[in-house]
Structure 1
């Protein structure tokens, strides 16, 4: 009876933790959705640019060669030149080393759908980039920021994997904190370099979080369904062999 009681308590604690995680994620999802709706209304529909211009004015006094080099480095970590090899390396790791089939599916699925979503939204909202970039001219449209969106979907996926896989709590939260800081700095670099407005970056973060959350939910459901189907198939074969 004591063992049964302990197991029930452990199961209850795990369920409570799961419920807390789900509640937090749901709250963040709603906040991101409302923030995105607010940005679309004010920036795209009403064309309010006061906040963006205020951020540019604030950053203008912080420009230096050292900061330029630093921001160029961090903005590179959000480019396709870095993220394509990084995604391929992550796929190869789960496919050949870790041998986790579903993670090797989740990585490209999230990356490719994020890319399609970015192009679709940029075409839909059709906002031009800032007129006077700091160091270089960036091609394409501005809203939402692709760097911000991809930094959430790629590095956010890494955060999800680390949260699920790393057992050492100190290491887990240290890695998660570093990746969260990296995401924010990548977004900040785009505003500093004046190739995106601050509202573009915030919108990119919101879209990226919404899509990553939805994509993981869908892919996890597909994974559970696949495993259940496989279990039923194995059980059927066992019964037939008897």
Structure 2
């Protein structure tokens, strides 16, 4: 699916909304109110429907996702393999996952992520540039960048949230203890780890006030320094922290120390 989508993207003159449709002969694009649905592809009438009431970046990813549906239905071999391997709700889940893969491949080609990782390294700035240049949401960008990062890194987007909205376990977290329900604390909104990392940073994890991530949000100044990953359990794992602040949020990467190879000290 990734190969099919990447080849489709390479055939386009551009990746703006209307150029994305150029490779689908006879398929029309329609924006309309769709309630809770983001979009749909109607193969019978050859039309892609996009919810006109969602955010522009969400509309863009949904369009690429629905193009994925069209590409999948146009590949008899892949479609046959899927029906041979899955059925029922599981088949539907796999198809939706593959169309998300297609959307990422169309909007965030490997050449772009390779360029950004080479230029900026696996840090917050690379994530910010991917969001901007691909015109996608932070969630879409963070998963794709993490998947294509070949060093042990955890990416995260952090922002202020109310204490009462923070999904703390049990009786709460000591780092937000004593704060009123109307107070706002800096927490992890979304995170994703490179394939070589076995740890995860859960959404809702509080960021201590003296952590480089919190300092960057307060000052608006990017930073890169040795610090730690503030896991929800209270464990602090040493990591090199690369922070890129934006208004109201912080894009960050936590690079884990690599084990020395045999013979190294």
- With the length of structure 2 as denominator, give the TM-score of the two structures: 0.24
* Bigger helix fraction: 1
Structure with bigger RCO (C-alpha 8 Å, 6+ apart): 1
Name the structure with the higher strand share. Answer: 2
Q: Which has the larger radius of gyration?
A: 1
